[in-house]
Amino acid sequence: MAERARNDTLRLRRKAYRRGHSSEWLAAAALMIKGFRIVARRYRTKLGEIDLIARRGDLVLIVEVKARKTLIEAMEAIARESERRIEGAADLWLARQRDYAKLAVRFDMVAVLPWRWPVHVENVFYGRN
């Protein structure tokens, strides 16, 4: 019985991983159509992970991608704890940019909803800066 539960858990993890990957790909495509260049995907740091980092000129988007049934569910899925983790990771990424001083940073979300084009929500939260 324990083996079966372990296999079920593994199968669900794989499914979630694939769903996350495909959602991030769709979100990236939606941003590229808007003229953004994706400069990082799944950017990992000791403080956390950023799903996508996109740039258009001096504007940098720190993007959280959420695949949910509704836009409301997607927006509610970003908790205060997630915001702090994303901000910390963003600080580390920004510190490595040579043109850091002239960059404008925005924290956005892309909601991937069933049978719809991804919804880009600007300023889903504001960083502490």
Of 110, 107, 58, 66, the closest CA to residue 87 belongs to 107
Query: Domain map of the chain by residue range?
Result: 2-125
- pLDDT, residue 128, reads 62
pLDDT 10s per residue in the chain (129 long)?
677 777 778 788 887 777 777 899 999 999 999 999 999 999 999 999 999 999 999 999 999 999 999 999 999 999 888 899 999 999 999 999 999 999 999 999 999 999 999 999 999 998 665
| Element at 4 (helix H, strand E) | helix 2-33
pTM of the model: 0.86
The CATH code that applies to domain 2-125 is: 3.40.1350.10
- pLDDT, residue 34, reads 97
Q: Could you give the strand order of the β-sheet that contains 37-44, starting from the edge strand earlier in sequence?
A: 37-44, 49-56, 59-67, 104-112, 119-125
- pLDDT, residue 67, reads 94
